[in-house]
Amino acid sequence: MRPRRLSPAVLEHILTHARPHSDRPTNTKKNALLRLLLTVNRQLLNRVLVEQFYQRGDVLFWEGERGDAMYLIRAGRVVVLKGDPETPTVLGYRGPGEIIGEMALLESQTRSATNVALSELRLLRIDRNGFRELIRANPDISLTIMSMLSARLRVADTIRTSALVGGKQLQEQVSRLMTEKEQLLELQRVRKETSDLIVHDLRNPLGVIYGALNMLEMVLPEDVLADNRELIDLASSACERMQRLVDSLLDVAKLETGEMSINLRHADLQPIVEEVAQLQSVNARPHNVTIRTEIPHDLPSLLLDVEKIERVLSNLLDNALKYSPPDSTITVRAERIPQGVAVSVIDQGPGVPEEQRERIFERFAQVEGSKPARRGFGLGLTFCRLAVEAHGGKIWAEEGLGGMGSRFVFTLPVEG
């Protein structure tokens, strides 16, 4: 029988010599299953969640063991290993707010990897019977799991495609070792290092923070949670904003080179606008700014990449909040036009000078002479332009209502 604990020397040897297969962090923010568990009846959660504790070096489960439970990490870190225990491959690391062991539980199969505690570990265990109880109480959990599996397949396909495209580009550059090409390769290297820096130094702690907030919402007593709801909402909103900044920097490059796909489906615009406006109201409240929506109920269904249009609206509202004075109003308005639908975000700030209305959609551009309360990096509007154009629409800025403030407008065709 395999030991349930690795000696400090063996664990240190693994972490020192095992080459990581992938150190890309898991994006806890996107863990829909964890978010869905927050909606489950507290009494049911208390019945199916069993708290467990592990020390550094403890083996949670070995590769090949029968999967009879999954775990929510409440505190501590886990290393995921594959292959021979003496010379394994490190698949990655997991931290607070993340879920481990769910695939073997869902498939009734053996574990595909070994999980070992890297520090004092506090877990919430859900066994097979408890998981079935959760599904019976909330059938949406089954749909969420299917969505998670689909997303994993999509990510794997994107990584494979990017690797093929990157390999082809590198091969073409290496074949022509002229000075100009060498400079381009150096620029590509610096650009990749910058992206890696963002992924590792921003995305990973962001995922940990967001997962920890989700975990607090699940385990805090309801009275404590109610007393601190505003603080938790503000922290979650700040994580969302930082995540959009990181995503925009990485996605702008992909959209410019055509490496990012647009996943279109028919969707109604009104619930998308209402949800984004509600989330952004958390950021607006401390500045006494009101976000108002004027969306007709009879708009046609549009062919959209919903996630990207949500980010377009979030970026435009975030931009409007930067320049809006206290006690002002931001209006999100939609109207039918011959080509499709036009969406406007109207603020009461200082406005954008006419000569700069084209330039502000360029990467890292800022309105000259403006002093918003919160400065940005000029990436949000660039992402908006590229995402809207990828849908076959247009985006522009103009003078606000009555000559005051700004009005950002983007169009979306009825058929993308």
3-state secondary structure 279-298: HHHHHHHHHCCEEEEECCCC
Residues 284 and 332 in one domain: yes
Cβ distance 301 to 267 under 8 Å?
Answer: yes
Query: Tens of pLDDT along 185-214?
Result: 776 666 666 666 665 566 667 777 777 787
Q: Distance between CA atoms of 231 and 186, rounded to whole angstroms?
A: 44
Query: Tens of pLDDT along 13-52?
Result: 887 765 554 444 444 444 566 777 777 788 888 888 999 9
Rg, the chain, Cα only: 24
Q: Tell me the residue type at 86.
A: E
Burial of 369 (0-12, 13-18, 19+ CB in 10 A): exposed
Residues 102 and 181 in one domain: no
- pTM, two decimals, is 0.51
**What is the distance of C-alpha 174 from the center of its chain?**
35
Residues 16 and 131 in one domain: yes
Q: How many CB atoms lie within 10 A of CB 89?
A: 16
Residues 129 and 159 in one domain: no
Mean pLDDT: which of 71-85, 94-108, 115-129 is highest? 115-129
Strands 114-117 and 78-82: antiparallel
Residue 373 reports pLDDT greater than 70: no
Helix axes 229-257, 306-323, angle to 10 degrees: 120
Query: Phi/psi of residue 66, each to 5°?
Result: -70, 135
Indicate the average pLDDT of the chain. 79
Residues 66 and 125 in one domain: yes
Q: Which stretch of DSSP H or E encloses residue 266?
A: strand 265-267
Q: What is the CATH number of the domain that holds 404?
A: 3.30.565.10
Select from 194, 222, 257 the last residue of a domain: 257
Residues 173 and 224 in one domain: yes
Residue 160 reports pLDDT greater than 60: no
**What are the respective helix, strand and coil percentages of the chain, to the nearest 5?**
50, 20, 30
Residues 59 and 183 in one domain: no
Residues 75 and 117 in one domain: yes
Instruction: For CA atoms 155, 160, 164, 169, give the dihedral sign.
Output: positive
Residues 250 and 327 in one domain: no
Q: Which of 24, 248, 43, 236 is nearest to 134 (CA)?
A: 43
Residues 198 and 284 in one domain: no
Range in 13-17, 228-232, 286-290, 350-354 with the lowest mean pLDDT: 13-17
Select from 214, 234, 257 the last residue of a domain: 257
pLDDT: which is higher, 351 or 260: 351
Tell me whether residue 147 is in a domain.
no
Domain span including residue 73: 8-142
- 325-328 long-range contacts (CB < 8 A, ≥24 apart) are 325/349, 326/287, 326/288, 326/289, 327/288, 327/289, 328/289, 328/290
- Location of structure tokens 């994993």: 152
Q: Which stretch of DSSP H or E encloses residue 30?
A: none
Residues 6 or more apart from 344 whose CB is under 8 A from it?
331, 332, 333, 334, 335, 407, 408, 409
Q: Distance between CA atoms of 128 and 104, rounded to whole angstroms?
A: 10
The tally of domains found in the chain comes to 3
Residue 83 per-residue DSSP state: S
Q: Distance between CA atoms of 29 and 388, rounded to whole angstroms?
A: 24
279-302 burial, b if ≥16 CB within 10 A, otherwise e? bbbebbeebebebeeebeeebeeb
pLDDT: which is higher, 237 or 110: 110
Q: In what order do the strands lie in the sheet with 329-337?
A: 290-294, 329-337, 340-346, 406-413, 395-399
Rounded to 10 degrees, the C-alpha dihedral 16/17/18/24 comes to: 50
User: In the predicted model, what is the mean pLDDT of residues 216-228?
Assistant: 82
Residue 273 reports pLDDT greater than 50: yes
Residues 188 and 318 in one domain: no
Q: Distance between CA atoms of 251 and 311, rounded to whole angstroms?
A: 11
Tell me whether residue 209 is in a domain.
yes
